[in-house]
Amino acid sequence: MKPGESLRPEVGTGLVMTTKRRWLLAAIALWLAHGCASTPQIAPEPSRDDKLSRLLKLEDERSLGDGEVVLGLSDSIARVRARAAVVSARVGGVDANQLTALLDDPTDFVRESAAFALGILDGELSSDAIQALTSSLEDDSLTVRARAIEALGKKGDADSAEAIARALARTAPRGGEPYEWAEDLEVSIPPGDDPRLDLRLGIVALARRASLRWSWDLLATQGSTPRYVWWPAAWAMSELPGDERAPLLRYFAGSLDPELRVWGARGYGSLHAEDVPQHLRLLLSDPSERVRIATIRSIASLGLAEMAPQLITLLDSDTLHVQATALQALATLDAPMTVETLIDQIGNENAWLRGLALPALAKQDIDGFWLLLAGLGHDQAWQVRAALADLLGRVQGERPRTLLRSMAEEPDARVRARALTALARAEGDPEDASPILIEHLKGPDPFERLAAAQALARMGRSEAGISVQQAFLEEDSSEPRVKAQLLAALGSLDPTLARETARAALDETDFLLRRQAAAILSRLEGSQLTARPRPSDHGVAHYRSLANPRYTPQAFIRTARGEPIEVELFVADAPLTVQNFIRLARSGFYDGLSVHHVVPNGRVETGDPRGDGNGGPGYAIRSEVNPRPIVRGTLAMLNHGTDTAGSQFFITHLPQPKLEGTVTVFGQVTGGMNTVDRLEPGDTIESITIWDGYTSPYRAP
């Protein structure tokens, strides 16, 4: 074989050609155009770095490059083939069969990338693609088997759980159980360095498919004890259905390892054994905050109102995250004996707790709630007023609707938007709310206007179609998803107006809007329209350093909560996202932004200049879903759908296996995780400093 020729058969139709043949034909055409006057000068084949940079540029543009990405699937360079597989899945519009062909590639990394790409491809997989992935369960490479397992867990069929379990049975260790594998949950092991990757992803895949039968055969011994004393096994037992899990959950809940006790306590919340309340009562005094949080949630899930007095005790003496979780639990339990304590919480100096105490009090004593509300006056924290609006949307009667109509005129746009959303959810006459919502289609805030349009769509007020269309045509905000979502609301209200509006929007400059327009037209006309790609402002040279980074950048996030949060940024896994994060950090964009949402035992969310989860930098970036694990301290982008992220990100408190392969993971905390644990809503980022190995980490004044 000569240099430059493809090592693989041609993929797809006869129009696809090898890279060398493409360049040769171009040279011949140039020679013929000059009248054959001289010997043709055949341009050299692009280098590996040129091809990788070009693929990254096309991905950023959301383009397949007139077949160029598909052509990369048969490139002579393995890394190019692998990258083309992932890009084609992220961009979409490719046939799954073009990816399944790579499952027979001679290079392990290419087969691994193809399996991962099939798992993130939009839509359902064909039976042929599922069968190809099932065959890959016998691959010699552990990482290929692991990614095939992961893809089948997401997109397999009714037989996939059995196939996964049988494949793992051939390779999983046996004898000498239980296997006790301690693991540092704050370390993101690169997938290629994880010796148990197939087993971990297999456990997650079986949990995704809710298959207790095949999970049990893998995770339990004949004596109903755990085969693996390992956090993924404990997590899976907390996820799966069925009371047969009871002995394994008891084992994990009684472990000396607090990370295992967390999952045992969490699993109790879906268990109906008689001794569960007794175990939960003991776990409420566990020395680990995370175990207590998981226990409280299980108490709420099971409706154990008799344990409300113990929750009240926690409100007096425990950490803020535990107190917040206890208040959330009391909003679901029937525990009238807690009313006096909840009234005290309404006056708590912490706005987060005040907002959570409102629904808890309304649950226990609705009359007392209204009486107290009448004398409260205007809370200084907009977050508390927004929480009240959310609550009123769930309370029956004319009184909450009257108050919501008043809150729709709030001076703070963030509260107005929440009040409009709640007004559409509150029970009552929709005709009463429609004029208010239509009026707010002309409001001064883009998300206020969007909330009004979505509320009208939710209520099915088709007569408002003209007004929503007018709001769409007049929308000129810099928020990239607002106009696209206005068009989506119009599509729900009036298909005729939506069709003509969407057809005109196909030529708009904003990619999210073009994509929404194509989706509406495809649905209404039964076609398969795709949005025109987004042109990049940069040439291929700009993407070269991103495709081949010289250093692993580090970020230092400073808050008032303690030591800086040190982060390793995954520039090789999410180059466009890391570049965007670095640019925003160095510009000072994040300085002074708040932590706008915290889910105890879940994650900390920040990066929103509005502070309500809607804001961003005024543009959207590509989603770069990748194979990185999501463990404790992982950074990932927040979004409102594919390609809608901008500046918001979250940091996890605990592993989130079901999110893996669905979000853009772009970093891992390597120091200062205790600071992350202490963050609460309202805390602010003081600064983010970047060190990338060759650019000064200090910003100019």
Q: Which tens digit of pLDDT belongs to each residue from 646-683? A: 999 999 999 999 999 999 999 999 999 999 999 999 99
Residue 103: per-residue pLDDT: 98
Burial 40-55 (b: 16+ CB within 10 A, else e): eeeeebbebbbbbbbb
Residue 3 has pLDDT above 60, yes or no: no
Residue 696: per-residue pLDDT: 59
Q: What span, in angstroms and rounded, lies between the C-alpha atoms of 157 and 477? A: 44
Residue 120 has pLDDT above 50, yes or no: yes
Neighbour-count burial of 548, counting CB atoms closer than 10 A to its CB (0-12 exposed, 13-18 middle, 19+ buried): middle
- Write the single-letter amino acid at 321: H
Among the ranges given (30-34, 178-182, 529-533, 635-639), the one the predictor scored with the smallest mean pLDDT: 30-34
Residue whose token pair is 């909560």: 561
Six token digits for residue 55: 């693929």
Query: 142, 169, 196: which is the final residue of a domain?
Result: 169
pLDDT in tens, 574-615: 999 999 999 999 999 999 999 999 999 999 999 999 999 999
Q: Please name the helix (run of DSSP H) or strand (run of DSSP E) that holds residue 598, with its range, or none.
A: strand 595-599
502 domain-assigned: no
Count of domains for the chain? 2
pLDDT in tens, 466-518: 999 999 999 998 898 999 999 999 999 999 999 999 999 999 999 999 999 99
Residue 382: per-residue pLDDT: 97
40, 23 Cβ separation under 8 angstroms: no
CATH at residue 75: 1.25.10.10
293, 600 Cβ separation under 8 angstroms: yes
- pLDDT-derived band at 425, boundaries 50, 70, 90: confident
Burial 423-455 (b: 16+ CB within 10 A, else e): bbebeeeeeebbebbbebbebebbbbbbbbbbb
- DSSP line for 124-146: PPPHHHHHHHHHGGG-S-HHHHH
Exposure on the CB side of residue 289, measured as CA atoms within 13 A: 17
Residue whose token pair is 């609707």: 401
Nearest partner of 116 among 621, 625, 571, judged by Cα:
625
Residue 32: per-residue pLDDT: 46
468, 489 Cβ separation under 8 angstroms: yes
142 domain-assigned: yes
SS3 (DSSP) at 623 = coil
Q: Which residue has the higher pLDDT, 694 or 112?
A: 112
601 domain-assigned: yes
- Write the single-letter amino acid at 696: S
Q: What span, in angstroms and rounded, lies between the C-alpha atoms of 310 and 303? A: 14
Q: What span, in angstroms and rounded, lies between the C-alpha atoms of 138 and 167? A: 7
pTM score of the predicted model: 0.92
Query: 169, 198, 220: which is the final residue of a domain?
Result: 169
Q: What span, in angstroms and rounded, lies between the C-alpha atoms of 227 and 180? A: 9
- pLDDT-derived band at 158, boundaries 50, 70, 90: very high
6 domain-assigned: no
Among the ranges given (41-45, 63-67, 84-88, 184-188), the one the predictor scored with the smallest mean pLDDT: 41-45
pLDDT in tens, 266-281: 999 999 999 999 999 9
517 domain-assigned: no
Six token digits for residue 603: 């994650």
Q: What span, in angstroms and rounded, lies between the C-alpha atoms of 8 and 110? A: 12
CA distances from 601 to 92, 385, 586, 676 (A): 34, 25, 30, 11
Six token digits for residue 172: 């999983």
pLDDT in tens, 171-180: 988 777 899 9
591 domain-assigned: yes
CA dihedral sign, ordered 448, 595, 572, 259: negative
470, 438 Cβ separation under 8 angstroms: no
CATH at residue 574: 2.40.100.10
Strands 228-229 and 179-180 turn out to be: parallel
Strands 687-691 and 554-558 turn out to be: antiparallel
CB-CB neighbours of 503 under 10 Å: 14
Give the domain range for residue 598: 540-691
70 domain-assigned: yes
212 domain-assigned: no
pLDDT in tens, 525-566: 988 888 999 889 899 999 998 988 888 999 999 999 999 999
Query: 122, 146, 169: which is the final residue of a domain?
Result: 169
